[in-house]
Chains A and B, each alone.
Chain A
Amino acid sequence: GAVVSQHPSRVICKSGTSVKIECRSLDFQATTMFWYRQFPKKSLMLMATSNEGSKATYEQGVEKDKFLINHASLTLSTLTVTSAHPEDSSFYICSALDRIYGYTFGSGTRLTVV
């Protein structure tokens, strides 16, 4: 089936630094990828829709200057959390839209900002 690889799985960074999370579709081309944030014991909150070759579409309330999304190729989308603060600590998960399987998810990234 479709596989999405997300890296890193865990990252700890200092407050004020930036962190980049990668999401790759391994065996299919993904023109559309999604970035979610999940708080403990909560549902997935869609942050943005990433379209290859164009600007991402952000959901209401998500700061696009803080959460930079780049989808430069059909197999890679990146999310950069800029000037991270402790309140950005969360579980971030990406997914890619595949014609057969629907939404295939990455394994998630646990971000801790100290």
Chain B
Amino acid sequence: EVQLLESGGGLVQPGGSLTLSCAASGFTFSNYAMSWVRQTPGKGLEWVSTISGSAGSTYYADSVKGRFTVSRDNSKNTLYLQMNSLRAEDTAEYYCAKDPSYSGSYPTLDYWGQGTLVTVSS
């Protein structure tokens, strides 16, 4: 059974940093691309970033490019999202999601974690 478990969310001040983690199990982690998607009541679902199975390719939404960094440790079956220079508009529920492909070039999200809440506020 595929399981994805996010952690690391919380309250952070504007301009601060936070690192999210996603522990994966139930599949061969290194064979699949992984993505981060966030959700707010006002803006709905927003794709944030995708990383290929080998971590050779990464993709970012323009809204986070230069501030967020996606990475993965295939030896630990864990996906990360390093978030710097956080803004109020980054407040959202963040989900990690598995892609059925290795490359992630055409992101389809076949399994999702339960989400972790990030709140950016002073």
Partners in one complex: no
Chain A interface residues toward B at CB < 8 A: none
Chain B interface residues toward A at CB < 8 A: none
